[in-house]
Amino acid sequence: MSDLQEAIYQIVVKEVARTQPKREENFLSKKDAEKLIKKYTKRYVLQEYLNATEAANVLSMSLTTFWRFRQEHNVPVYVIDGMKRYKKSELIKCVEDNSVRGYA
């Protein structure tokens, strides 16, 4: 090995030794990974049920327009712990059923 290669090799060895503890800290155990998967999977399932503001955002309408749309059409609502929630897939279907299809 040339002197330059030896010097580079020594720098790399020192850097690996210096960063090794940090890399080991950042690895997840299988148990921690399973907890994260469960946490985010649960959150994703709960995102299917939206409050009025989120429902209006999904439908790209103002909150006032959403309330008017909800009164004029039979929008299914779920009461969960005393709070009204709207199922995302049912909202989209309701809008599609009550819209006029047009062409730009």
For position 93, which CATH number holds?
Answer: 1.10.10
Q: Is residue 92 part of a domain?
A: yes
Q: Is residue 91 part of a domain?
A: yes
Q: Is 60 left (phi over 0), alpha (psi -120 to 50) or beta?
A: left
pLDDT at 19: 66
Q: Is residue 41 part of a domain?
A: no
Tally: H helices and E strands in the chain:
5, 3
Q: Is residue 55 part of a domain?
A: yes
Q: Is residue 98 part of a domain?
A: yes
pLDDT at 55: 93
**For residue 11, what are its two tokens?**
């720098």
Strands in the chain per DSSP E = 49-50, 78-80, 83-87
Q: What's the number of domains the chain is made of?
A: 1
Residue-wise pLDDT for 2-26, tens only, equals 676 677 777 777 777 776 666 566 6
Q: Which residues of the chain have pLDDT under 70?
A: 1-2, 4-5, 19-28, 36-47, 104
Q: Is residue 97 part of a domain?
A: yes
Q: Is residue 74 part of a domain?
A: yes
Report strand pairing: 78-80 vs 49-50: unpaired
Whole domain around residue 74: which residue ranges? Answer: 47-104
